[in-house]
Each structure stands twice: as C-alpha cells, then as structure tokens.
Structure 1
C-alpha cells in the first residue's frame, strides 16, 4: 500500500514535470515474473521506469541508503522502500552479487518484476558498456523468467554530474520483446552460456537505445577516466610550480642570484 502511495506521488510528479515518453510497454506481461534488463545512464533511471509501468518493479540499491542515521536517513530509507528498492550490502563483490541474485529470485518467485542493470554501474559517458554475466544470466537461468530489454533515453542529460538543478526535458523509454532463455535451463554455472545470454541481451539494449557499444566493463572505464583525471591534475600542478619558479627567477633579475644593493 505504501508503495502504491509513493509511486502515485513520485510517478505523477515525474510525469507532470518531465513528460517522459515510452514505446513498447505492451511487451511487459500483465502478470507473472519477468526481468527488466536496462542500460544505466542516470540515478533517475530507477524512478522513471517504474513511473511508466502499471506493475510494481523492484530494483536493488546500496544498503547505505537504508541505514543512514538521523531524520534525513530515515526519510531516505522510507523513500527507497516506497519506490520499490531493496537494500543489498555491497561491501564484498562476490557477496554483493550473491545477495542481488537471492533478492531477485525472491521477487521473481512472488510473480513480480525485477529490474537489473547488466552494466553493473552507470555509464560514465553515455555509451553502452559490456554487460556483467554473473548476475543477469544466472538470475534468468535459475528463475526461468523471461528477460525484457529496456533502453533509457536521455536520462543522463537531465542532471549531468556537477549540476544541482535538473534540466526540464523529455526522457524516453523503449521496451523490447521478451527474450526466452529456457534452452539453457540447468546451465546457469557455465561461463560461456552466461556470456552468451548477457551478450544477447546487451545487443537488444544497444539496438533499442542507439548507443555506441564499448566492449569493456564500465567499472574499468571509470577507473581509466579517474586515473587520466588524476594524471591531468598532477600535470597542471607541475606546470603551475614550474611557472611559479620562473616568475621568482625573473624577479631576481633573471639569473637567480638577486640584485646587489
């Protein structure tokens, strides 16, 4: 009931302010379990997608969102629970993956919709990155639920990094036809099958979104960007020090010895 009230409040506000458009909503079944596998461009993806659906869809979120202290922490936890997100402890990579799969299976066993981002993290530059096979494929093969590819469009442009005030524009959602992987039943531990399933889903997301595909993991791309940014800052700092030394040398008469009285 709380979910319904929160969805009505948040969903209605998002629709009124941003007027998102959607295509292919008929591909989402009216009943029964299904996995919604989406690209991930923005923090708001987990809000815009549920706002456009008649059915409840559950995503996972960092446990920190549910355990922060104080009034703000309690309000944040209530909000995330209200919009259908489940806490998952991500302190250990392997543990986080298993926890996400268990959470997803519980949702699917109840005959509900479970949302997952195969890239594992938000895209750092708007491109589509390689899907991680462990979560999506194992969840699909263990549950037997169909996988529905979803493409979020332009959500990253609403509030780019560093911007406080959101930009008023119309994001979009494209939903593809359900993908059936029952032919791989009982093979959820096979890494080659996991990769095959994931790549098939990522191809459909790419086709729906029109994004450029990058065959590396988004986490690796983020590390490379962070390292490049760090190197650039170090280079600027070094040039600044050299310029400062040059100015000091010029002030001493150009020979570094200073002027005689």
Structure 2
C-alpha cells in the first residue's frame, strides 16, 4: 500500500525534499513536523524509503460502510495507528504508549507537536506531552520536519486536492538524551518541545504564535460565530426599519386619502 500510494503521490504532485540524508537508514527516530494539511501524513512517508508510523483518530478505522472500510484499509496501509481521542488525557497516554512501542521496535515515529492542523498557516506552540515524553523515555533522536505549502493543496474542508508541488525540509537530528529519565518534569518537557518548535520554525519560515492551535481554532470559531450573529442582527434591524418605514408610508397614504 505504501509503495502504491507513495509512488502515485510522487508522480502526480512531484514533492521536493531537502535534508533527506538526516533520516537514518535504520534504527529508531522521531519525526516531529508542523501540521498544515490532512495530506501531511501521506507526503512525508512518500519521500522516505522507510515506513513512518503516525497516530490517527480511531474514527478513521471504525466508520461503517464501504467508504469507512476503504478509509480504514488506506490508513492501515500507510502506517497509521488508531487512537481513541474521546478522552483527552486517555488519548494522550495512548499516543505516548504507541509512540514508545514504535521506537522500541527500531522504527520511525511521526508526530505533530502542535496537536492539530494550523488554522491559518502559522506555526503554533507545541504541546509538551507526546513528543517530549516519547523522546525522553526512549532516548531516540528527534528530527524536525517542515511541510511546505501542503495547506494550499488540500485546505481544511476541501475534498479534491489541487495539483501543485509541496515541499519538505528535514533538519538535523536533535539529541535529548541529557534529559533522559526526566519525562515527568514539566519544565524539561516544555524546554524540549520549544527547542524542537524553534527548529521547525527555522525550516518552515512560518510566523510563530505563542499559543496552542486548539485555542486559536476556538477563537476563530467564536469570532466567526459573533460575526454571523452580528450580520443576522443587522439584517433583522434593517428588516424592522424597512417595515416601520412601510407602515409609516401606508399610514400617510391612508390619511391623505381621507
């Protein structure tokens, strides 16, 4: 499945890649990437010779019907692992456990430190749980990755992708073994995460925003809701004003007719 999907993606979209030599030919490593599009988890594995395992929502594997079965088969084929995200804390622990298991098998584990896709193309604050804890628990090197322009190929909500060349920049491995055994120290977790995010920012050229992407999405949703409600109120006020004007004109005509 990976060969088929990867070959098709490279043939159609012709992604360019820099720093491929920074991914080890064997042995465990963590690929920490920015997250611009649903397609990020497909383009990165497509340019690598090795399998990369990402975490995916369990819903992708359990949706009923023909479409659901095809989606589940596709995600399994490209190395996605299902994680139930119905409970935030439980989901985080499950993702960490899965990541450690992938690393212990000597494989590549892919993770998005932002925790969700960027809502506007900017780089957001990394969450200190998954990435740093897996790195410190295993001693595996962290390789920063920058996806370029994938949000232009398939923006959120768009089903049919636009054919254009995305880019992938892979940075040099970061060694955090000096902190090994400190995966429960929140200050260390934050320091490790921030160092990785800084390297991703340098690779991607994105504007950095010191807040979580989930909070930014809430703000954007709330602003859109407020704008929608304001527009609705404005239309209602205009309709009321027009009605009052019409009533005045009708009353004036009736008075004139007398």
TM class by shorter chain equals over 0.9
TM-score (norm 1): 0.95
Per-residue displacement from partner, 1:49-89 (whole Å, max 9, x unpaired)?
00000000000100011011122111111110001000000
1:249/1:255 contact within 8 Å kept: no
Out of 32, 38, 41, the position equivalent to 1:37 is 32
2:216 paired residue number = 221
| Cα distance between partner residues in 2 of 1:96 and 1:138 | 14
2:17 paired residue number = 22
Give the match's secondary structure for 2:8: helix
Shift of 1:165: 3.0
1:103 paired residue number = 98
Shift of 1:251: 1.5
| Cα distance between partner residues in 2 of 1:205 and 1:255 | 67
| Cα distance between partner residues in 2 of 1:184 and 1:175 | 23
Q: How do residues 82-231 of structure 1 correspond to structure 2 at under 5 angstroms?
A: 82-231=77-226
1:72 and 2:77 equivalent? Answer: no
Q: 1:247 to 1:89 in 2, by over 3 A?
A: same
TM-score (norm 2): 0.96
| Cα distance between partner residues in 2 of 1:142 and 1:8 | 31
> How many pairs align?
256
Shift of 1:253: 2.5
1:235 paired residue number = 230
2:37/2:156 contact within 8 Å kept: no
Q: 1:111 to 1:247 in 2, by over 3 A?
A: same
- RMSD value, Cα: 1.4
Structure 2, gaps ≥5 residues long: none
Structure 1, gaps ≥5 residues long: 1-5
Shift of 1:258: 8.0
